[in-house]
């Protein structure tokens, strides 16, 4: 339904080309949180890989297999 003649057009409802003002900042915050989460996951994977490599390169194989 079109707004009444002369009525202000609310962004994002009657005018989909212009999103509501809070949307862009909320979207940016969600994107930042997602990217932070991805970076933390990559760092955790690197630590796990490093620890596994350190265990397998250990000269004491019996100790290594006891941990697994």
User: What total of structural domains would you count in the chain?
Assistant: 1
At 62 the pLDDT is 56
Position 65 confidence tier, pLDDT thresholds 50, 70, 90: low
Residue 68, pLDDT above cutoff 70: no
Bridge partners of 15, per DSSP, are: 11
pLDDT tens by residue, 6-63: 666 555 556 566 655 567 888 889 999 999 999 999 999 999 998 888 877 765 555 5
| Residue 6 Ramachandran class (φ > 0 left, ψ -120 to 50 alpha, else beta) | left
Is residue 57, in this structure, part of any structural domain at all?
yes
Its domain, for residue 41, covers: 27-67
At 33 the pLDDT is 95
The model carries a pTM of 0.47
Report how far residue 36's alpha carbon sits from residue 45's, in angstroms, rounded to the nearest whole number. 14
Instruction: Pinpoint the alpha helices (H) of the chain.
Output: 21-56, 61-67
Is residue 2, in this structure, part of any structural domain at all?
no
């Amino acid at each position: 339904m079109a707004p009444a003649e002369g009525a202000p057009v609310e962004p994002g409802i009657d005018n989909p080309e212009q999103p509501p003002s809070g949307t862009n900042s909320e979207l940016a915050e969600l994107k930042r949180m997602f990217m932070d989460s991805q970076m933390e996951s990559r760092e955790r994977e690197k630590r796990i890989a490093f620890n596994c490599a350190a265990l397998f390169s250990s000269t004491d194989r019996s100790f290594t297999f006891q941990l697994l």
